[in-house]
A and B are shown apart, each in its own frame.
Chain A
Amino acid sequence: MDVSSCDVLVVGGGAAGLRAAIAIAEANLNLRVAVISKVYPMRSHTVSAEGGAAAVIKPNDSLDEHAYDTISGGDWLCDQDAVEAFVNEAPVEMLRLEHWGCPWSRQPDGRVAVRSFGGMKVERTWFAADKTGFHMLHSLFQTTLKYEAIQRYDECFVTKLLVEKGRCQGVVAIEVATGKILAITAKAVILATGGCGKVFPFTTNGAIKTGDGMALAYRAGAPLKDMEFVQYHPTGLPLTGILITEATRSEGGWLLNKDGYRYLQDYDLGKPQPKPVLRSMELGPRDRLSQAFVKEQAKGRTLEGPYGHYVHLDIRHLGEKLIDKKLPFVRALCRKYVNLDPVKEMIPVRPVVHYMMGGIHTDIYGATPLPGLYAAGEAACVSINGANRLGSNSLTECLVFGARAGQAAAAFAAEQKETNPAISAQARDEQRRLEESFLRKTDGKERIAPLREEMHKNMEACAGIYRTGAELKRAAQVLRGLQDRFHDLQLDDRSYTFNTELTAALELSFMLDVAEGIVASAFARQESRGSHQRTDHPQRDDDKFLAHSLAYRSPEGPPRIEHLPVTITRWPPGQRVYGK
């Protein structure tokens, strides 16, 4: 076992983690910062974000409009103080990234260009063609290389948080290349581990998005907030779940059913116009569009292919020139993965699990209830996304709250004395657990893939776009069963060198915890709001549920759910109106 230490440890090398690391390096020159990531930072899933990042910069826009779009988009479950901080700091954070070299798309006069996005009343989404996340991540990563204070542990997989005397004081990790156990002590830890789309079978999320940080925090006693809110993106490619960005629709793309009809007009989203209208039709919010698909399917008006039902996304009328300039990645993805050219043919699409509104409960500084533990990015729930995130808010969220968490953690760390030596005993226990439960275990009967498949089936069937109490109850039982069976797991691979079967097993166990959090929170929320639709409770119920769900781990059995009132500042709950 290797023991090392730093002042602030950032877990995760995506947009949120890297932004936090730079904030710490800049906040206090005396602090030793480290970024630990299970993949090289530039592989983090931020890399796949396509459409753009929202921040008010143009004179026809205002912070209040951005706040209102976000809050109404989130069906009033957003904490409004968090949203106000977010929209205020978003422009400066985006400019900072411009100064760091991000290749934003530009207007002819050299200023940053913006595009419209779903659920937004004014165009405010900055973009770098349709590879925004890729460019943001690489710009951030390359910028971190200039800070000598930022140390890295690349390809190191965190398995446990070290908590001693009620304070988070570091982590235990596996150095994947060698299998060596690392005990890294820190005065503060920031979890920026991203989302958990892989809990579901059909998702835009990469293999690494397994909710690790959420489960780590939950196991350490911090609650998970609003886990029932899972975003389906309306336009994923069948089979692979590869995302076709919303920017296709903001540029003017149409969603058509099997009769070539723009069916969204039947779902209270406005009437079709030749040019895109903001907050209307194809530019409605994601939850409403994904729900419309399910209803359209029930009416028998979708198409059916080898990978399930789908509708058409038609961008042919945008023309080759615009497509090549603003949506080149979409064209390349379609050609490569569905063997068609969107300049000439319609793209088959269906709703796909995309983003987690819920996450580790934090305050507006990124602090969790566990002293010394912070969280930011998709892993966290501050919450600015409420019951439904607006597209292009989350990349910006990674910057704003990554920076905030970095600053808060730096301030906390500066006040702490050395970490407690007792935690190395804990690290040894963790090493023993990994050996006994996985590497040296010989009597197991279960394999990873079937357990994962069963979790997938169960989540898709019971915790998808529409849910009922009875199904959720069944899902909770199935998950309990899977948790038991997980203890009987047997690995084929017993080596220490780059053992990806071991990391896959640990990821599966993280996902099972996260899945239980989703299902239990969804069961407890007996109303329909945003992305959480209960057919047995079809109305929004502000009297009972204008509140966040908090899922706490209980020693045995499923999580315990509590509720916490939403913070309302200036926008009393209202109706969500689109297409008017």
Chain B
Amino acid sequence: MEKILKVQMEAVLENQGLARAVAAAYASELDPTVEELTEIKTAVSEAFSNAAIHGYPGDMSGSVTMEIATIRPSTIMIKISDQGVGIEDIAQAMEPLFTTDTGDERSGMGFTVMESFTDKIKVDSRPGEGTTVTLIKKLDTYYDF
């Protein structure tokens, strides 16, 4: 693992754009395509908003930590964690269209978007302890030395 970047943000939706911008700035140095950069930003946006909305529901406050590293040449790992309420049934949470938040016009597509825009996703969560989403994204290289 190289070039480790770790940022901690208050778990409020206002910081969603900041989380995306930080991830995009990091990824930019690895020469991604425009499409790859959009995919990274979108996946981060989903993970961060989930932490802020579902991790700390209601009046609960807390923080979201984002850790980014280059794990192989042109392969980026992004870990987004909260210390919130956690997920009881991870497999069910990851199903397309599944949401626990029906009143607020959520589509339940956050995990599906993360899955399709990255190469690998891992979700670790324990009720009462919090959630960590690990995303791995390989960037296309047009040449190999």
Pair from one complex = no
Chain B interface (Cβ within 8 Å of chain A)?
Answer: none
